Amino acid sequence: MEQKRADEKQRKPERKPAKKGIEEIKKELESCQGLREEYLSGWQRTRADFINYKKEEEQRIKKLLEWEKENLILEILPILDNFELAEKNLTDELKKEQNISKASFHCSLGKESKLSFRSLDAKIEGLKQIKKQMEEFLRIQGVEEIDVLDKKFDPNTSEAVEEIKKEGAKSGFVLTVIQKGYYLNEKVIRPARVKITSSFFSC
């Protein structure tokens, strides 16, 4: 029995761990380096795509906020127009009251007229303060009035609603501003509505 085991041991040589050749190790190393470069390139592409996406989202959000801001300001501008109109009307009324007061200086109504135009003057001052606050708020937001009066008509900043003939005047100049125009950060958000001159010469 022991002899049989000895014979089998002789017939089955001991297996020794195979030694890898240098070339094989080099190939495996090159393969690992290739995978490393592939993974690194993939990571770099993904990172670049994410950075671009982030920038695009920031730009989209910025444009959306600018659009919302512009719409809000366009809603406020008519209120400012009404303040200016009210101020003009009250100023005209105050001038009338002052004229009445002067005319009736020696009459019994003189005292009442003085009280009346003092009341109007106080209302005008109140309106001016509110209008000033509104103008300051708009200025901080980047809103600027378009200066067009007495200047050459520019269709990029103004809308002509009427052409008035004026003897000897240069044609195409802004004569009257019906409604003020405004920039928002140098962009025209509302063109001015104006009356322009149209020259003619009498015979």
Residue 12 lies in a domain: no
pLDDT category of residue 184 using cuts at 50, 70 and 90: very high
Between residues 159 and 86, which one has the greater pLDDT? Answer: 159
pLDDT category of residue 195 using cuts at 50, 70 and 90: very high
Instruction: Supply the range of the domain harboring residue 127.
Output: 33-141
Residue 77 lies in a domain: yes
Between residues 156 and 10, which one has the greater pLDDT? Answer: 156
Residue 83 lies in a domain: yes
Answer with the one of 106, 124, 141 that is the final residue of a domain. Answer: 141
Same domain, residue pair 61 and 136: yes
Once rounded to an integer, what is the mean pLDDT over residues 30-47? 84
**Can you name the residues that pair with 198 across neighbouring β-strands?**
165
Between residues 128 and 156, which one has the greater pLDDT? Answer: 156
Angle at 109 between CA 103 and CA 112, to 5 degrees: 110
Domain count, the chain: 2
Residue 192 lies in a domain: yes
Same domain, residue pair 46 and 119: yes
Same domain, residue pair 157 and 189: yes
Same domain, residue pair 184 and 105: no
> What is the pTM for the complete model shown?
0.67
Same domain, residue pair 116 and 158: no
Q: What is the CATH number of the domain that holds 163?
A: 2.30.22.10
- Summarize pLDDT for 107-150 with one digit per residue, the tens: 544 455 555 666 777 778 888 899 999 999 999 999 999 999 99
Same domain, residue pair 120 and 81: yes
Same domain, residue pair 46 and 127: yes
Same domain, residue pair 137 and 148: no
Same domain, residue pair 165 and 66: no
Q: In the numeric block, which tokens belong to residue 16?
A: 């020794």
Residue 136 lies in a domain: yes
Answer with the one of 118, 141, 164 that is the final residue of a domain. Answer: 141
The pLDDT, as a whole number, for residue 122 is 79
